[in-house]
Amino acid sequence: MSSPTWTRVALSSEFRPFVGSCWRLVEAQHRVSTLKLTDTLAEQALLEDLIEESKPRVPAECRHLDFLLATPFRYGALYPNGSRFRRAGRTAGVYYAAERVTTAIAEMAFYRLLFFSESPATAWPSNAAEYTAFSAAVETTSLLDLTQDPLSKDAAIWTDLIAYDGCQEFAEAARNANADVIRYQSVRDPAKGSNLAILLCRAFAMPAPVDRQTWRMRLSASGVRALCEFPQQALEFGRDAFVADPRIAGLNWDR
pLDDT of residue 39: 78
Measure the CA–CA gap between 92 and 197, rounded to whole angstroms.
12
pLDDT of residue 122: 96
pLDDT of residue 5: 67
pLDDT digits (tens, 9 = 90+) for 188-246: 999 999 999 999 999 999 999 999 999 999 999 999 999 999 999 999 999 999 999 99
Q: With 80 as the cut, is the pLDDT of residue 53 above it?
A: no
pLDDT of residue 1: 47
The per-residue pLDDT of the chain, averaged, comes to 92
pLDDT digits (tens, 9 = 90+) for 129-139: 999 999 999 99
pLDDT of residue 12: 95
| Bond before 59 cis per omega within 30 degrees | no
pLDDT digits (tens, 9 = 90+) for 100-126: 999 999 999 999 999 999 999 999 999
Task: Tell me the average pLDDT across 50-72.
Answer: 86
Task: Tell me the average pLDDT across 174-191.
Answer: 98
Give pTM, 2 decimals.
Answer: 0.91
What residues have CB less than 8 Å from 196, skipping those under 6 apart?
A: 22, 95, 96, 97, 98, 99, 138, 181, 182, 183
